[in-house]
Structure 1
Amino acid sequence: MRELRFDNRFVRELPGDPESGRHVRQVHGACHSRVAPTPVRAPRLLAWSAEVAELLGLDEADVLDPRFAEVFGGNALLPGMEPYAACYGGHQFGNWAGQLGDGRAITLGESINPQGQRWELQLKGAGPTPYSRRADGRAVLRSSIREFICSEAMHHLGVPTTRALSLVGTGEQVVRDMFYDGHPRPEPGAVVCRVAPSFIRFGNFEIFASRGEEAVLQQLIDFTIDRDFPELIEAEADPALRRVRWFEEVCTRTAVLMAHWMRVGFVHGVMNTDNMSILGLTIDYGPYGWIDDFDPDWTPNTTDAEGRRYRFGHQPRIAHWNLWQLANAVYPVIQQVEPLERALAMYAEVHEAENRRMMQQKLGLDTWRGGDSGDDALAAELQRLLQVGEVDMTIFFRALSGLDLAQPALAHFDAAFYDEARRAGVAEAFDAWLARYAARAGQEGVPAALRRSRMDAVNPLYVPRNYLAQQAIDRAERGDMGGIADLLDVLRRPYAEQPGREVFAARRPDWARHKAGCSMLSCSS
């Protein structure tokens, strides 16, 4: 296995914890604690992403070298790696939770690839850190497979996201109470190597603001701008104005991310502020889920089942709320209310514009005619019908591109309905909507073949549905990793027809409606 080049600015330029060791403690005035991964019994490579390996300058021979599993399972370090766990806080389910930090994630270092790009390598499930609280710092195979698959699937869907290099089995058992019902059981352990330009979150800033450690807060803000937003250094010479521009950029990126989540039907499940990336990436794949039948009120997280704070349709509002918490955190350094409020208003404007733009593309319209009787109403009525009729979101939009605009028929969408009675209940209203839509789309004058290719480029055929991931998990727990490879390969081309793989595009089967792992999940992993 070839060596990687590291330039670990986070630990070199930001204050560190003066204490060493894994013992749990409150860490003040420091952005990180040095801690090494805890070795595992028998690291074994289970899956890897060829695309991410290439990003890092690695090839198949490097990955299949036995040393790779040793390094990315947590048993060895490459020259230049300086492992650490980051200190941060966060609001969890709307309440300030105090210090949180990387409780089971350990960053190995910042790798500089042959093109000069910076990629932070982070092991999830690498053992205890000073931030582990009462936990063991490990991760189970099922959640690790879900994170590995979804990270790469989101990238190929065009959604901003962290990436995943590898999935390594540990050869050890990890005890988890999956449903918090008092029935823990041992499960196979695993480690995922997550990859991103930066893993800094909103909570990294909140912790220092909460403690009045404003000098460290300013240092972290300026470091983040300099390392992760270099374009702002070139565009704005005044440090004070640069910090405002930075917050505006965070708001803008977050707004775009939320529009993407709504476009593809992704539900994060636990949008705490410590799970929000400062780069506007999807981060921390825990109890996430994918919308099968369109339901804005659905949450995949059992912990959120009662309040549904993080339900699908509420995600843009939660992101806005989280940005307000970030604004409160950085105010002691920026010390101006009006620019922060303008940036927060900008979030709403950008999200509305991006959401409309993406819906316009999903509907195959070249122009958008707003207003209560225009395309806004057309889209709103469609979403109502999708929910009331229990219609599969992904299948419906994919099929829409092939609708005969001269003779629009609801039968064209039969494969998207989950319940015949629900279908019958909306049939008349849906027929009226299809006629209205066909007339509107026909006004664009776009040839059918061109219209279809445009729509198919934004409406995926394949998404990592919960039950597909669970099938891969079930196979893996029996020792068969083929399901992971098969699913990952399909999801590399989510917008392309793949003959022979129609089963991956089918609607959720009835057996998966309430099956563990296919419907709702807990944060236990």
Structure 2
Amino acid sequence: MDQVPFENAFVDELPGEAAGPLGPRQVPGYCYSRVAPTPVPDPHLLAWSEELGEFLGLAKPATRGPAVDALAGNLVTGSMKPFAARYGGHQFGNWAGQLGDGRAIALGQVAAVDGSRWEIQLKGAGPTPYSRRADGRAVLRSSLREFLCSEAMHHLGVPTTRALSLVATGDAVVRDMFYDGRAAPEPGAVVARVAPSFIRFGNFQLMAAHGELDNLRALADYTLRHHYPELGPPSPAVYVRWFEEVARRTAVMVAHWMSVGFVHGVMNTDNMSILGLTIDYGPYGWLEPYDPDWTPNTTDFGSRRYAFGQQPRVALWNLMALAHALGPLVDDPQALRPGLDLYADTLAATQHALMLRKLGLTPQGPAADADDRALTEALPEALAGPEIDMTIFFRQLSHQAPALLAAPARADELLDELLAAAAYAVVPGEEQLLRQWLRRYAQRLGQEAASGEAIRARMLGANPKYVLRNYLAQKAIEAAEAGDLAPLNTLFEVLKTPFAEHPAHEALAAKRPDWARDKPGSATLSCSS
């Protein structure tokens, strides 16, 4: 890292604040503020993504040394031009005004082995003008969660930002985890996260809200040049096509979330990537008992705005906010409306295609499409009654597919096996919808030309055995805080191949234990997490 040449297109091509007071303040008229990371007392490497490092042409550094100093923010090399981006956003549906990178500082871009450019950003590297009342730091708890989940989502095939490293800082950071007045010091950390860009919906929103139309156009044109060059030179018509592509990518991302049971937890517009990537891993979680109204975010318990089942609707709302911000760039803001329709159509088509894959089914033609959609759309309600663990259900179903294909009449018998493996609680009668659904599914399997074993194999390739359950992350956090990195390393390695069996690590595929139902960090979290 200390020898890597950085490029600085964002800083070089967009208007920014070259220097200014470090304290929290409004920064009108700019796209970013130049700001250096604040050094920490004892940076040392805790975790490293070998695959991402190789892609970026970076070797794993020693535990301590110049490379880790750069990853912690203690060393700024001559080619880096660190900055914090300025943006705003809607938080829980309310306009929050200026937000910005309050604890994230970008170092610049590096060239990957395929020639693509990737921005490296240090989260937890110290205060910026956008830190508001906070200290710009991050705790090990939240940093470890972001490191693990970024890479886990990538290996699941979900569009996401990545994480390169997790570095302990050697200092203590005071946090009130549940905003209940019990603030306490926690070990600090910095995660180096990586993406082609961290530009968000909120970057454009803030400029539109402040009437900074020159900056709005400059940022839009920059985004087109660097991240959507296939759309052509900027023009009102190209801005429309660009919005449609953002909407399409957002739909694909959300469909993938829904297919694996992922709940982002805080889908504010400032947490929406302009590239359609999952960004800002805070109070996320995976469905364990299937419940469309479940949210992992304690801050959201009142409205459940960001619950699992609300994510498609919220993404559409966020796209509407982006369309409003981009309106001044087009001849007629109504020209952006088809992008919203494209979002809805893409979401429905992608969700259906992903669900067919998870069920081992192939399209049988237009005449059968309505029946297939009825089958896939009936499953969520069927899962909700008996508190089914979504991940275990689909994995178990993958193994049962050959038996269901060979003997559809065994559906009731196999349901009992499914419930024993995947249900948290079964109230007699609540499994009836799932029983009916499984019978229909068994009959539908009979229309497939492939053998039972072939169907099983493709289902196992679409249904992960391992996901980053919150209780697993919490166990890794507690061990790391005590100086034991073995659980972190084991979990990280398993999550890199989530569709494999890993017989030595069956415990990492288990249902959430009873003790984790209400334990802080093991099921639900706050925005401080």
TM-score band by shorter chain is over 0.9
Give a deviation string over 1:325-381, Cα, whole Å, max 9, x none.
Answer: 000001011132232001111110111110111111111111167899722332233
Which residue does the alignment assign to 2:217? 218
Give, in angstroms, the shift of residue 251 of structure 1.
0.3
Distance in 1 separating the partners of 2:456 and 2:368: 26
TM-score normalised according to structure 2 size: 0.95
DSSP-derived class of the 1:436 partner: helix
Whether contact under 8 Å (1:392, 1:417) holds in the other structure is yes
Distance 2:21 2:107 in 1: 16
Name the aligned partner's letter for residue 422 of structure 2: A
Match of 1:83 in 2: 82
Counterpart contact for 1:2–1:58, Cα < 8 Å: no
Q: Which residue of 2 aligns with 1:314?
A: 310
Give the equivalent residue in structure 2 for 1:112: 111
The residue aligned with 1:171 is 170
1:497 Cα shift?
1.2
Matches within 5 A, 1:37-436: 37-60=37-60, 62=61, 64=63, 66-233=65-232, 237=233, 239-367=235-363, 374-403=371-400, 404-405=403-404, 406=407, 407-408=410-411, 409-413=414-418, 414-419=420-425, 421-422=426-427, 424-436=428-440
* Change in 2 beyond 3 A, CA 1:307/1:2: closer
Shift, 1:239, TM fit: 2.1
Identity %: 58
Q: Is the 8 A contact 1:122 1:194 kept in 2?
A: yes
Give the alignment's Cα RMSD to 1 decimal: 1.6
Aligned equivalent of 1:519: 523
Contact 2:152 2:496 in 1 (8 A): yes
How far off is 1:411 after superposition?
A: 2.5
372 and 232 in structure 1: CA distance in 2 versus 1, 3 angstrom threshold: closer
User: Distance between the aligned counterparts of 1:345 and 1:242, measured in 2?
Assistant: 18
The 3-state SS of whatever aligns with 1:46 is strand
Question: Partners of 2:174 and 2:64 in 1: how far apart?
Answer: 30
Q: Structure 1 residues 49 and 370 mapped into 2: Cα distance closer, same or farther (>3 Å)?
A: farther
Counterparts of 1:313 and 1:429, CA distance in 2: 19
Alignment length, in residue pairs?
519
Q: For 2:172, what is the secondary structure of its paired residue?
A: strand
Structure 1 residue 410, shift from structure 2 partner: 1.1
Deviation per residue, 1:81-134 (Å, 9 max, x gap): 110000000011111100000000000111123432101000000000000011
- Report the residue type matching 1:28 in the other structure: P
CA distance 1:238–1:124, shift in 2 (3 Å): closer
Task: Provide the C-alpha distance between the structure 1 equivalents of 2:363 and 2:340, rounded to a whole number of angstroms.
Answer: 27
User: CA contact under 8 A between 1:3 and 1:79: conserved in structure 2?
Assistant: no
Contact 2:252 2:350 in 1 (8 A): yes
Secondary structure of the structure 2 residue equivalent to 1:249: helix
Aligned-partner SS, 1:384: helix
Distance apart, 1:427 and its partner CA: 3.9
Report the Cα distance in structure 2 between the residues aligned to 1:373 and 1:432, rounded to whole angstroms.
18
The whole-number CA distance in structure 1 between the counterparts of 2:337 and 2:368 is 27
Q: Is the 8 A contact 2:385 2:431 kept in 1?
A: no
By how many angstroms is 1:220 displaced? 0.5
Distance 1:486 1:436 in 2: 39
Write the letter of the residue equivalent to 2:457: S
Cα pair 2:46 2:166 within 8 Å, conserved: yes
Aligned counterpart, 1:12: 12
The answer on whether the counterparts of 1:143 and 1:286 sit within 8 Å (CA) in structure 2 is yes
In 1, Cα distance between equivalents of 2:506 and 2:300: 33
**1:238, CA displacement in angstroms?**
6.2
Distance (Å, rounded) in 1 between the aligned partners of 2:474 and 2:64: 29
| Alpha-carbon shift at residue 428 of structure 1 (Å) | 4.1
SS at match of 1:172: strand
Q: Could you tell me how far apart the structure 2 residues matched to 1:169 and 1:238 are?
A: 43
What one-letter code is carried by the residue in structure 2 that aligns with 1:289?
A: G
1:489 matched to 2:488? The reply is no
Deviation string for 1:171-209 (max 9, x for gaps)? 111111101111101100000000000000000000100
Give the equivalent residue in structure 2 for 1:21.
21
Are the aligned partners of 2:83 and 2:107 in contact in 1 as well (CA < 8 Å)? yes
The amino acid that maps onto 1:483 is P
Give the superposition deviation at 1:30: 0.6
**Contact in 1 for aligned 2:2/2:66 (Cα 8 Å):** no
Structural mapping, 1:473-484, within 5 Å? 473-484=477-488
SS in 2 for 1:402: helix
Stretch of structure 1 that moved more, 432-441 or 133-142 = 432-441
**2:174 and 2:185 in contact (8 A); partners too:** yes
